[in-house]
Amino acid sequence: MTEPAQTVICHCLAVRQGARQVTQFYDRHLAPSGLRTTQYSLLNWLGRLGPVSIHALADAMVMDRTTMGRALRPLERDGLVRIGPGPDGRTRALSLTEAGQARLVTAAPFWRQAQEQFEAAYGAEAAQTLRAALARLVATVPT
């Protein structure tokens, strides 16, 4: 098969491919904890933020509300997250349960191992530059 005269590099595709590759890498490391990368991130954010609205957590994680709801269902089902009434009665608040905190503690060493192996393979300075570039992307690209 021949290459097109001008290959167009799609920024979205490149970012998504990289994200999938890194997610699969972290998922393999987190597997013994029973969590996937997204679940670990949700629990970690909740642990840092404390009780928070679903909307606020979705914003913090750059997820739409529907995707956030789907991601929370198994965590609530497994007793790791509690979804209750929010402060004004119209919203719902999320909180980490004791079981959720315990699972986060169990998963943390696997996550640290993934971090260390990623940095060993990619380079610590390059990884820091990558995180900065992705943070800039989140801050500057309109949603």
Q: pLDDT at position 6, please?
A: 56
Domain containing residue 42: CATH number: 1.10.10.10
Identify the helix (H) or strand (E) that includes residue 64. none
| Within a domain: 126 | no
Entry pTM: 0.85
Determine, yes or no, domain membership for 69: yes
**Domain-located, residue 25:** no
Q: In this structure, which long-range contacts are made by residues 83-91, counting pairs with CB atoms below 8 Å and at least 24 apart in sequence? A: 83/54, 86/53, 91/53, 91/54, 91/55
User: Would 100 be classed as within a structural domain?
Assistant: yes
Domain count for the chain: 1
The answer to whether residue 124 is domain-embedded is no
- Range(s) of the domain holding residue 40: 33-110
Angle between helix 37-49 and helix 54-61 axes, rounded to 10 deg: 120
Q: What is the chain's mean pLDDT, rounded?
A: 90
Closest CA to 52 of 92, 98, 99: 92
Residues 3-21 pLDDT 10s: 555 566 888 999 999 999 9
Report the alpha-carbon angle 48-50-55, nearest 5: 100
